[in-house]
Each structure stands twice: as C-alpha cells, then as structure tokens.
Structure 1
C-alpha cells in the first residue's frame, strides 16, 4: 500500500513533529531527502506526508 508517514506527538515538555524524507510519484522514488517538517513561527510548525 503506497503512502507516506507523518507523526505528531504532544507531551508535557512540548511537541514533536516527524515525517519520512522520501518523496514518491506513484511507485517511483523521486527523492530520499525531501523536507516535510516546517517551522512556521516559534510556537507553530507543520508536517506534510
């Protein structure tokens, strides 16, 4: 089954955002170093799959 993984964890000390770096197009791997976790502001972040 194709798909990407993105995870967000909340704990007493803050938040962790994580995502795999692989970028695919169908079954073809386009990149193994794609950026998918972004800092938007000091207390705002985003992650995409």
Structure 2
C-alpha cells in the first residue's frame, strides 16, 4: 500500500505544470495521507 501511495504522491507532485494550481489541494491531501500511512506502518513494526 505504501508503494502505491508513493506512486500517487509522485504523480501529484510531478504532474503537468499547467495543472499545478489545480493539483495543489490534492498534493496536500496525498502528503497527509502518505504521512499517516507511514506512521501506521512504523507502529506495526
């Protein structure tokens, strides 16, 4: 799951430059979700 989240985050960050303004809210959501998943993963380990 973490690899998938990293891929989605990468797509959000490295998307088309013209869409940067539109993607900004989604970037924040992806980063928050990624951080949350990493915390959960570390807690399991």
TM-score by length of 2: 0.26
Larger relative CO (CA 8 A, sep 6+): 1 or 2? 2
Which of 1 and 2 has greater Rg?
Answer: 1
Structure showing the higher strand proportion among its residues: 1
